[in-house]
C-alpha cells in the first residue's frame, strides 16, 4: 500500500505528466508520480488494452483511437491517477477500471480553469464540501487502493482547515495542498503559513505544493518542506522545466534531460505532439534560438530526435516496433 510519509512527488500536470515524464521523474528520484488530470467522462469512453509490443497497459479512446492513459509495470506501485470529476458514480466507475493498474486515485479539487469550474470540477468542489466529501467517501468505500485529493487553500487558515477536516473524515489517506487561493496565479507568492497551519492540525499526511518559484535546486525542496511543516512535497513547474530536480546528486544540464526524456518518448511510442509540448516547456526561451526554431518545425519523433543526435536510436526503436507490428496488435484484456 502506497505511503505518503516523507515523499517527493511529481505533481499532476496536464500534457506534461504522461508516461515518459513520469518514468523520467521516477528514475531521477521522485517517490510518487501523478498523472495529468484525466476527465472522468472522457476516460469512460476508453477500453483497456494490453500492448504486447511496448509491454504497457493502454486505455484507448474508442471514438478516435487516441491513448488516454498509458502505463507500465515500472511505475505501477508509484503512479497516482488524478481524476477530474464532479460526480461520485462516474468517478467510481473510472477508478474501478484502473484499480489494478495504479497505486492510488487522486481527485482534483484545485484546478481554477474555466473548463473545470463550469463543469463543477476542480476548485469548484472547494465551494461544495458536501459534494466533495461524497465523491471521496464513495471512492474510499469502493476501492482497495488509497484515495487522496489535491486542493487549493481558501482565504483564511481556518476556512481551509474546516474544509480539510471535513474531507479527511471520508477516509482519504493524504491531502495535497497548493498554497494559493482560487484567484491567485502561479506568479503570486505561495502561502506556506496556511499550509503549515493546516498540516499542524490534521492527522493524515499533508503534501505541500506551490513552491516551484523558490525551488531551483534539490536542497530547496527540503527548505520548502521545512517552511510548510509537511511530511511530503509535490513539485510541478520546477520539474516541468528540469525534471532532474528530483536528483539528490544535483541538476543535470538541459540537453541531457531532453535526451533522456526523448529516449523514453521513443521507447514508449509517445505521440510527437505531446513529446514536442514537453520539450517546448523545457526549452522555454531557448525556442527563440536557431536550434529552437528548427525544433519547432519538427513533426515526427525522428525529426525531433535528430536535433539531439538520437536519430539512430529512434530509427532502431521504431523499426523494432514496426517489425513487431505496433499498430493493431492490442489485445483485449480479460
Structural contact between residues 200 and 168, judged by C-beta atoms closer than 8 angstroms: no
Q: Give the 3-state DSSP-derived string for 150-183, with helices as H, strands as E and coil as C.
A: EEECCCCHHHHHHHHHHHHCCCCCEEEEECCCCC
Least gap, CB of 205 to ligand FNR (angstroms): 17
From the list 83, 79, 163, 180, the residue with the least C-alpha distance to 128 is 163
Q: For residue 235, give the DSSP letter.
A: E
Please check whether residue 91 is in contact with residue 85, taking contact to mean a CB–CB distance below 8 angstroms.
Answer: yes
111 counts as catalytic? yes
- Minimal distance, residue 106 CB to ligand FNR, in Å: 8
- Closest by Cα among 279, 236, 280, 277 to 260: 279
Q: How many CA atoms within 13 Å lie on the side-chain side of 212? A: 22
Q: What is the Rg, in whole angstroms, of the alpha carbon atoms belonging to the chain?
A: 20
| Among 7, 70, 78, 178, contact with ligand FNR (rule: CB under 6 A) | 178
Rule CB under 6 A: say whether 212 interacts with ligand FNR: yes
Q: Which cell goes with 324?
A: 513487431
Residue 79-108 contact track with ligand FNR, rule CB under 6 A, x = bound: ---x-------------------------x
Q: 235, 278, 283, 310: which one contacts ligand FNR (CB under 6 A)?
A: 235
Is-contact 176 233, C-beta < 8 A? Answer: no
When asked if residue 11 is in the footprint of ligand FNR (CB under 6 A), the reply is yes
Q: Does position 7 bind ligand FNR by CB under 6 A?
A: no
Query: Does position 119 bind ligand FNR by CB under 6 A?
Result: no
242 binds ligand FNR (CB under 6 A): no
Contact status: 111 vs ligand FNR (CB under 6 A): yes
51 binds ligand FNR (CB under 6 A): no
Under the rule (CB under 6 A), what is the footprint of ligand FNR? 11-14, 16, 36-37, 82, 108, 110-111, 150, 178, 186, 209-212, 235-238, 240
Positions marked catalytic = 111
Amino acid at each position: 500500500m502506497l505511503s505518503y510519509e516523507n515523499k517527493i512527488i511529481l505533481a499532476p500536470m496536464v500534457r506534461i505528466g504522461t508516461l515518459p515524464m513520469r518514468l523520467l521523474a521516477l528514475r531521477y528520484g521522485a517517490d510518487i508520480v501523478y498523472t495529468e488530470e484525466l476527465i472522468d467522462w472522457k476516460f469512460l469512453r476508453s477500453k483497456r488494452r494490453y500492448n504486447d509490443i511496448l509491454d504497457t497497459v493502454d486505455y484507448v479512446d474508442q471514438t478516435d483511437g487516441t491513448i488516454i492513459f498509458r502505463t507500465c509495470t515500472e511505475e505501477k506501485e508509484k503512479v497516482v491517477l488524478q481524476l477530474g470529476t464532479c460526480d461520485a458514480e462516474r468517478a467510481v466507475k473510472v477508478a474501478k477500471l484502473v484499480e489494478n493498474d495504479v497505486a492510488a486515485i487522486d481527485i482534483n479539487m484545485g484546478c481554477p480553469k474555466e473548463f473545470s469550474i463550469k463543469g463543477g470540477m476542480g476548485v469548484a468542489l472547494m465551494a461544495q464540501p458536501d459534494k466533495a466529501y461524497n465523491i471521496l467517501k464513495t471512492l474510499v468505500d469502493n476501492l482497495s487502493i488509497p484515495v487522496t485529493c489535491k486542493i487549493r487553500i481558501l482565504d483564511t487558515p481556518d476556512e481551509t482547515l474546516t474544509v480539510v477536516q471535513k474531507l479527511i473524515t471520508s477516509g482519504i489517506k493524504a491531502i495535497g495542498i497548493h498554497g494559493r487561493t482560487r484567484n491567485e496565479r502561479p506568479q503570486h507568492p505561495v502561502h506556506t503559513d496556511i499550509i503549515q497551519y493546516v498540516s499542524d492540525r490534521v492527522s493524515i499526511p499533508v503534501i505541500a505544493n506551490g513552491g516551484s518559484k523558490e525551488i531551483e535546486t534539490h536542497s530547496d525542496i527540503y527548505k520548502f518542506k521545512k517552511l510548510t511543516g509537511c511530511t511530503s512535497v509535490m513539485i510541478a513547474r520546477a520539474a516541468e522545466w528540469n525534471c532532474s530536480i528530483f536528483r539528490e546528486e544535483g541538476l543535470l544540464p538541459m540537453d541531457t534531460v531532453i535526451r533522456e526524456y526523448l529516449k523514453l518518448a521513443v521507447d514508449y511510442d509517445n505521440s510527437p505532439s505531446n513529446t514536442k509540448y514537453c520539450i517546448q516547456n523545457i526549452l522555454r526561451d531557448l525556442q527563440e534560438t536557431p536550434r529552437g526554431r528548427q525544433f519547432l518545425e519538427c513533426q515526427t519523433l525522428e525529426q525531433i530526435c535528430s536535433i539531439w543526435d538520437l536519430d539512430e536510436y529512434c530509427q532502431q526503436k521504431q523499426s523494432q516496433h514496426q517489425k513487431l507490428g505496433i499498430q493493431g496488435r492490442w489485445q483485449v484484456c480479460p
